[in-house]
Amino acid sequence: MQITDATKRKLSQESYYNIEKGRNISTPSGTFEILEKRDDTKNGLRAYAFAPIVNGKPDTNNIVMGYAGTEFTSMKDWKTNVNLPFHNNTTNLKIDNHYKNLKHTTINEKYNKPTDDNDILNSMDNLGEMVTKRMTHSFGPNDIATKGTPSQIDESATFTKAVKDKYPNSKLYGGGHSLGGYLAQYNAVKFDFENTTTFAAPNSYGAFSGNVKKGISEGRYNGRIKNVGHDDDIVNSLDFLNPKIGSNIIQAPKYDGFLTALPFVGQHFIGTYDDFDKNGNAKKMSKIELASYKKTKKILNQFKLFSNDKDPAGLDDTISAFIKKLNKKAKADKASKTKKGSKSTSKSSKSVKGDSDASAKKGNGGSGGSGKKIKIQPEAVRAIVSDLRDRIHKYDDVLRTIEEYERETKKSSQRILDKYESELLSGSHKFISPSDLTEYMESLAQGGSIGNLEFYDNHSMEQVVQDIHQNKKTLLKFAEKLEYAADKFEDKDLEESDVFGLFS
């Protein structure tokens, strides 16, 4: 079975979820079974060993190791992220045998001694916990403190080694996204995986030393470890001033909503990594496409399309259209230059002199023209403007959906009240009255006030609606500015054609 980039991406995504051992996962390469699992609730690690189903049973000759990335609400994961630039292997690694036992799929206690910790930030736990308790006036367990546990990095290696020891004849493959990508690359180097594909992975080079670093720098893992990233993903760019491991490719961005259009982090979501060829290999942007994209982004940035208060609706189509047009134009320019290079200078000069002043005003260049080309296409810009305006209705659809959700929530809550109040009035429950039920429902609601049956944050909902209206207004203004700019570009184009004989 060929374990493709697309399959590793799917298993990387599944690694985020808390799935029971023995469950099956559908992937582009077929069905995989979860052979082994580790979910450590004390330090935040979650990792799996997946095996493809062949002839009705798991093929343990090929195992994909999947590692979960950062959960945004997990302080343990963020603490691990802060430690990434400083983590180093140690020759005196102490991990309790409990962590080495694959039977312990879920770990809810700390088994390491505080003196066994190898995480540089664990030494700060006592101070951090004291400060947090004073700030929150809470003396309950602190989510940040992980003293008494191995780091996610060290435990991931312990888990991987246990899998490798249990299935000694297996070929290991790796996959992971974000923090999970770091763990996947770390284990791929440490245990010599067959191949590994990561998505938006920070660089784990600094976790190694000596000959391992030398092998990485010499390209030992090129072709065996591949990281797929986006140009706009700030996490993907975290190399910590070290050489990156294996090969690194840039994939075309995907803008399909508000989150994916956020600056710096929007393109970090694993859902943006879904561009594969028919063989399941991650598609790479060509040099021309990447240069065109960066140029397009620069143009759009001038109109604040990438600012925090912009509307992302339709951004994917806009940028894709720009990339295609600019890429096509670049190829046409290259072909044109090659063709012109084969002609004699005299023929080229004759061709330029043959143009009339009238032709220049149409954008074909005038007598004595420089042969340069103005790449702004006003009609293409106007087409984008028209497309943006056509997409305004999406905002109205979202607003209607929100309004319907609010109405349905209140109706559903009232239906629940009506149903059980009728039962209580019939005397079926001696110690519960209809008023008790009403008070309980109101306490469950977000507002917690009398008559409030809104099971959502009303303030946040109002803020969302307000933001949508503002984004709609901003998009309309942007379309107007873009159309105005197109007109100005066209006027300037004609003016320079008249004066300098440029081609438009």
What would the pLDDT profile of 6-40 be if each residue is shown by its tens digit? 999 999 999 999 999 999 999 999 999 999 999 99
Shared-domain flag, residues 196 and 97:
yes
Shared-domain flag, residues 66 and 182:
yes
Shared-domain flag, residues 100 and 200:
yes
Which pLDDT score is estimated for 262?
80
Which pLDDT score is estimated for 166?
97
Which amino acid, one-letter code, is at 304? K
- Is 134 among the domain residues? no
Please check the confidence at residue 333 and state whether its pLDDT lies above 80.
no
- Is 12 among the domain residues? yes
Shared-domain flag, residues 294 and 189:
no
| d(C-alpha 340, C-alpha 336), whole Å | 6
Q: Which domain holds residue 249?
A: 5-118+150-282
What's the structural domain count of the chain?
2
Max avg pLDDT among 83-92, 208-217, 468-477: 208-217
- Across the range 140-149, mean pLDDT stands at 59
What would the pLDDT profile of 256-290 be if each residue is shown by its tens digit? 777 787 877 888 999 999 899 999 999 998 888 88
- Across the range 355-361, mean pLDDT stands at 38
Provide the terminal-to-terminal Cα distance of the chain, rounded to the nearest Å. 53
Residues whose CB is less than 8 angstroms from the CB of residue 37 and which lie 6 or more positions away in sequence, other chains included: 19, 20, 21, 47, 48, 49, 105, 106
Please check the confidence at residue 64 and state whether its pLDDT lies above 80.
yes
Shared-domain flag, residues 278 and 392:
no
Calculate the average pLDDT of the chain. 76
Shared-domain flag, residues 154 and 259:
yes
Do 63 and 172 meet the contact criterion of CB atoms below 8 Å apart? yes
- Is 131 among the domain residues? no
- Beta bridge mates, 177: 199
- Is 124 among the domain residues? no
Range from 29-33, 96-100, 320-324, 431-435 carrying the lowest mean pLDDT: 320-324
User: Could you say which of 230, 248, 282 is where a domain stops?
Assistant: 282
User: Could you say which of 282, 304, 323 is where a domain stops?
Assistant: 282
- Is 276 among the domain residues? yes
| d(C-alpha 109, C-alpha 107), whole Å | 6
Higher pLDDT pick, 178 / 448: 178
- Is 136 among the domain residues? no
Shared-domain flag, residues 308 and 381:
yes
Shared-domain flag, residues 360 and 490:
yes
Please check the confidence at residue 205 and state whether its pLDDT lies above 60.
yes
Higher pLDDT pick, 78 / 12: 12
Confidence of residue 387 (pLDDT cuts 50, 70, 90): confident
Range from 176-190, 297-311, 462-476 carrying the lowest mean pLDDT: 297-311
Confidence of residue 153 (pLDDT cuts 50, 70, 90): very high
Residues whose CB is less than 8 angstroms from the CB of residue 165 and which lie 6 or more positions away in sequence, other chains included: none
Which token pair is 21?
Answer: 């051992």
Shared-domain flag, residues 494 and 355:
yes
Range from 227-241, 418-432, 438-452, 471-485 carrying the lowest mean pLDDT: 438-452
Higher pLDDT pick, 36 / 372: 36
- Is 137 among the domain residues? no
- Is 38 among the domain residues? yes
Beta strands 62-67 and 106-107: pairing type? Answer: unpaired
Please check the confidence at residue 326 and state whether its pLDDT lies above 80.
no
Shared-domain flag, residues 112 and 160:
yes
- Three-state SS across 235-287? CCCCCCCCCCCCEEEECCCCCCCCHHHCCCCHHHCHHHCCCECCCCCECCCCH
Residues whose CB is less than 8 angstroms from the CB of residue 391 and which lie 6 or more positions away in sequence, other chains included: 313, 314, 475
Do 62 and 52 meet the contact criterion of CB atoms below 8 Å apart? yes
Which pLDDT score is estimated for 365?
38
User: Could you say which of 254, 282, 310 is where a domain stops?
Assistant: 282
Higher pLDDT pick, 137 / 84: 84
CATH code of the domain containing 63: 3.40.50
Of 313, 170, 195, 187, the residue nearest 247 (C-alpha): 195
Shared-domain flag, residues 278 and 290:
no
Confidence of residue 162 (pLDDT cuts 50, 70, 90): very high
Please check the confidence at residue 46 and state whether its pLDDT lies above 60.
yes
Q: What percent of the chain has pLDDT over 90?
A: 34
For the chain, percent helix, then strand, then coil, each to nearest 5? 50, 10, 40
Shared-domain flag, residues 169 and 266:
yes
